[in-house]
Amino acid sequence: MTPEPCVPQTDASGRELTEHGTTLFPVGCYHDDLNQFSVPWHWHDELEAFFVSEGQVFAAVGTAKLTLRQGEGLFINAGILHSVQKAGSGGCRLHSLVFHPRLAGGSMDSVFWQNYVHPLIRNKRLEYVLLNSSDTWEKEALESIEGAWQSYTLKSSGYEFQVRSALSWLLFLLSKHCPPGTLLPSEKALRDSARAKLMLQYIQEHFSEEISTAQIAACAGISESECLRCFRSIIGVPPVRYLRQYRIQQAAALLASGRQRIAEIGAQCGFSDTSYFTKIFREQTGCTPSEYRRSFTLS
C-alpha cells in the first residue's frame, strides 16, 4: 500500500491543520510526487523528516535555501516555516513522515522526553538538519527515516513499534550530534520570518479579493520595498507571484474535490476572467482546469 501525498490544509497564519495519524498513533506517512504539485509554504507543531527517493528537491526552510539529491534527507523542527518543490528535470519523489514529538518522547515526566526530545524541539538554533551519507551518523539517520517509512507502508504485525523505534533513534542521533552550539539565526532572519508569517496570513485570508503589494506590506507595518525584499529573502518570489501560486493551489484542491463550475472556482480563487484563469493554471500545472479535474475523475 503506497501512502497518499501530503496536501497541507492551513489556517490564516499558514499553520497546518491536517491531522497526521491519530491520537493513538500520531504520525502521518506520505509519498509526494513533486512533478504533480509542490508542497506550499506552511508550518506545524509536529516534527518532519523526509527522504528523497527520486530526483532533486528544492527545500526552503526559514531563510535557508537547500537543494537535496536522491538519497539525501531533511529533518525540520517544530514550528518552522517551510516549503518543498521539484528541482531539475525528470522524476521527483519524497518519502516523508510528520509526527508529534510525544510519539518518541512519551509523557512529559519520562526520561526520553526530558533528556532528549524536549531539549531538541526547544532548541531555537536548530531549525533543520540536512542529512547525507558523508558521516556515519547521518547515514544511520537516513536509514531510520526510510526504515520508519517502509514499516508504516508495509503495516506488518507490530509495525507501530518499528515506526516508533526508528523515529526515536532518529531523534536520539539528532540530539547527540546537533548540540545547541549551532549559531542562532540572526535578528534580521527572525524578523523577516515573523513578517513573512504575517504577510502569508493576510494573503491566505484575502486571496479571493483584489489585493496589492501595498496592502500586503501594510499588514506587516512595512514599506512596499521592504515587503518585496522580505518576500524574496524568505519565500523566494515576489508577493504577487506567491499570491497567484496560492490561488492556483486553492483552485486545484476545489477542482479535485468539488463539482462547482470551473468559472465559479476561478472567481472564488480571485480570477474574474476564466480565460486568464485557464492560462495561469496551465502555466503552473501543465494542464487546463478541465484536464486536471478529469485526471481525478478517471483515477
What are the start-end ranges of the H helices in the chain? 102-105, 111-112, 118-121, 136-154, 159-177, 187-206, 213-219, 224-234, 239-257, 262-268, 274-285, 289-298
- Residue 167 CA from chain centroid, whole number: 19
> For each of the chain's 299 residues, which pLDDT tens digit applies?
456 555 555 555 455 556 677 878 999 999 988 887 788 888 888 999 999 999 999 999 988 899 999 999 999 998 888 999 999 888 899 999 999 998 988 877 788 988 898 888 888 778 999 999 888 999 999 999 999 999 999 999 999 999 999 999 999 999 999 865 544 567 787 788 888 888 988 998 899 999 999 999 999 999 999 999 988 877 777 899 889 988 988 898 888 877 889 999 999 999 999 999 999 998 888 889 998 888 776 55
CB atoms within 10 A of CB 296: 11
Cβ pair 34, 84 in contact under 8 A: yes
Picking from 229, 51, 182, 252, the residue whose alpha carbon sits closest to that of residue 59 is: 51
pTM: 0.68
Backbone phi, then psi, for 101, in 5-degree steps? -55, -30
